[in-house]
Chains A and B, each alone.
Chain A
């Protein structure tokens, strides 16, 4: 079936650099996307979301970009810090699919000091 997926399983960056985590989705009916951060032994933590009528949304040190033409989502983290080390998931909600979120497989971000 249609699903959300990620391009890179592991991303290693130097502290202070910017990080970009990518996600591809295949369902054109998806209308809401969320990025989650998950640290070891914890549940997913909301980072930022975006609706399909937008192409960019900014938060504190994070920016989400949505390209509906190629069904691509990215999370940009500015000035990456050691505390950003975690697994990052993108998730989508498909219009009229109720309250279910479909998650991708995750990207592990490792920040080198």
Chain B
């Protein structure tokens, strides 16, 4: 296992289209997180799963956003009716325990550009 994998790395979509991103966490990690990062800013928390349960959601996660982790392993983040303001890097992270001493392990992200 080489770490947290995200797919695709880059996605360009037209405004109004739906997009879906996938995250594969480190295999033994039961906690999975989604963050969004715009250029020059720090990541912003979106949502958190423990196993298959979505336990926390940020107010940033509008009704157009939905995240799932159906079997407690990989997770998907879907954005419906994309807007230009959705253009950002979407980062996934995983951990084995709550705020472990080594922090989360982040993936390399999916960069979304909405045109």
Contacts and interface: CB of A to CB of B under 8 A. Distances in A.
Contacts of A104: 42
B69 to A, nearest CB: 14
A98 B93 CA distance: 15
A91 B55 contact: no
- What is the size category of the interface that chain A forms with chain B? 20 to 34
B74 interface: no
Nearest to A43: B106
A44 B36 CA distance: 12
Nearest to B10: A41
A105 B104 CA distance: 18
Nearest to A51: B101
Contacts of A105: 40-42
A100 B48 contact: yes
Contact of A49 (B45, B95, B98, B103): B103
Contact of A89 (B42, B101, B104): B42
Interface string A1-43: 0001000000000000000000000000000101010000111
Interface residues of B, number: 27
Nearest to B101: A49
Contacts of B40: 105-106
Of residues B44, B104, B108, which shows the largest number of chain A Cβ atoms within 10 Å of its Cβ?
Answer: B104
A36 B95 CA distance: 15
B99 A44 contact: no
Given A93-B99, A98-B48, A99-B48, A45 B42 contact: no
Interface of A: 4, 32, 34, 36, 41-46, 49, 89, 91, 93, 98-106
